[in-house]
Amino acid sequence: MKVNKAELLISAVSRKQYPEDGLPEIALAGRSNVGKSSFINTMVQRKKLARISSKPGKTRTLNFYNINDELIFVDVPGYGYAKVSKKERAAWGPMMEEYISVREELRGVVQIIDVRHPPTADDIQMYQYLKYHELPVIVIATKADKVSKNKRPKHVKQAKNDLQLDKEDKMILFSAETGQGKDEGWSAIQNLM
Ligand code: GDP
């Protein structure tokens, strides 16, 4: 997909602030530092739409990005970061829960994992949580450029196995460095809309 427009609509903390234009939404979830901002920026061909490695401590919000007036990317704060304060961690759950449970525009979730390592306990818990809510999930296995080509299939197989990936969900090898997986990612996203 060629992205001509990508702009932040709002950073929301509660449902009163969600946009009201009815566009289909795709949420993006991932462990802090996994490469979520880089994924978003690669997909929309912008260097700095989503902030790379933005430090926790700033307000953690749901960031709604209008893409081509066709869909909205909803960037969810990263999970599993040890340095996040208890207070922030406590706020994360209800904010996510509210969004996931009330949002009719939500079509599915892109969950980003690091293909270099097996999914963490947090990754597995997040995937199970999304499946509990019966959401379609596209798993993006990023940083593929950091794993030698011949080892990638083994890593993907292991990750699918650890997550117990649903037959209906896809796992896509991705790299923000090389652009690998970008077209496949877009077609999977478009399939959800
Ligand atoms: P976020 O916290 O999940 O938004 O993660 P970022 O997008 O800020 O990325 C964290 C770090 O990983 C940064 O230093 C990125 O440059 C690096 N990174 C992200 N994606 C890739 C990738 O596909 N390949 C490589 N080699 N590095 C990546």
The rounded distance, in Å, linking the Cα atoms of 141 and 27 is: 16
Output the tens digit of pLDDT for each of the chain's 193 residues.
889 999 999 999 889 999 998 999 999 999 988 999 999 999 999 877 877 545 554 557 899 999 999 999 999 988 876 566 677 667 778 888 899 988 999 999 999 999 999 999 999 999 999 999 999 999 999 999 999 999 999 999 999 999 999 999 999 999 999 999 999 999 999 999 9
Read out DSSP for 31-62? Answer: BTTSSHHHHHHHHHT-SSSSPTTPPBTBPP-E
The strand pair at 71-75 and 62-67 is best described as antiparallel
Q: Which residues line ligand 1 (CB under 6 A)?
A: 30, 32-38, 52-53, 78, 142-143, 145-146, 175-177
Question: What are the φ and ψ backbone dihedral angles of 148, each rounded to 5 degrees?
Answer: -65, 150
Domains of the chain: total: 1
Is residue 69 assigned to a domain?
yes
pLDDT of 57: 45
Tell which atom from ligand 1 comes closest to the C-alpha of 30. Answer: 3
pLDDT of 80: 73
Domain boundaries, position 36: 6-192
Residue 157 burial (10 A CB sphere; 0-12, 13-18, 19+):
exposed
Rounded to two decimals, the ipTM of the complex is: 0.99
Indicate which CATH number applies to the domain containing 28: 3.40.50.300
Is residue 32 assigned to a domain?
yes
pTM: 0.94
| Residue among 47, 53, 111, 142 whose CB has most ligand 1 atoms within 8 A, to mutate | 53
Is residue 1 assigned to a domain?
no
